[in-house]
Amino acid sequence: MTTSLSETRFVHYYRQILLPEVGESGQQTLLQSHVLIVGVGGLGTHVAQQLAAAGVGHLYLMDNDKVERSNLPRQVLFAAPDIGQNKVDIAKRQIHQHNPDVHVVAWPWHFDLDSVAIFIQQQPLLSAALHQQKLTVLDCSDNLTTRHSVNLWCVEHKLVLVSAAVSAFCGQLLLVDLQNAQHAGCYRCLFNEHAITQDCQSMGVLGPTVAVVASMQAALTLKHILRVGAADDHLHVYDGYTLSWRKLKRQRDRHCPVCCTPSNSPISHQREASL
């Protein structure tokens, strides 16, 4: 049986608790949830800030970048004195100051299948959440290689992935949940490793566009954790020129090398690294 919130926490999250989809039990669920954020740049800083404010109890931040001056217009947790420091360390400090309820772990490494295995081994709470499939993964990275690695890892471990990307005035967002929306497939079903993409470094990006897409990524994550509505099976595309969203129904690729075998059943990608 779930214990009641303390008076301090009840007051802190009161306006959120008023929502019938949340309530006191939902707020407890958020406080007990675990979210891994890969990439603490434009998307990642906004998402981490919003999830922490909502009371997501355990945040794991993974990024090997340091703060640069060109980051400041859109990466809202950083300021000029932070230039040259690890992004994850600054983000952890800022989040803790805003909401001490949140347990934040900073890991200043680039995501790949080996580095995340080391990270898991060093974090007992994260390891338990992973093996119980109670970990939600957010891909906030800025390159296709990392996105495919994150997708592969999530499919292998049967984890829900919320992936977002932004370039110029536009963005895209999708949720991969092969347990509840198998028909929608995974990230690889939509984008192969050789897809032509441009990131914010090569094409530029408008700061508010990042904030819009990140807010939707945070909202989709909270909906998933709280089990609000059915599992999302769309690709959401944002057009900053017209300030509009489009929803495209996703379909699983029966020949996807990540989430399907020829008989259309999930597979475990063969590799040596283990947890």
Q: Which residues are catalytic?
A: 200
Directed axis angle between helix 207-226 and helix 42-54, to 10°? 40
Residue with tokens 């499939």: 133
Question: Within 13 Å of residue 114, how many CA atoms lie on the same side as its CB?
Answer: 1
Provide the 10 A C-beta neighbour count for residue 200.
20
CA nearest to 166, candidates 39, 37, 28, 33: 39
What gap in Å lies between CA 245 and CA 173, rounded to an integer?
10
Please check whether residue 47 is in contact with residue 218, taking contact to mean a CB–CB distance below 8 angstroms.
yes
Could you report how far apart the first and last alpha carbons of the chain are, in Å? 32
Burial of 142: CB neighbours in 10 Å, binned 0-12, 13-18, 19+: buried
Q: Which two tokens stand for residue 132?
A: 């119980």
H-only helix segments in 39-193 = 42-54, 87-98, 113-122, 124-131, 144-156, 187-190
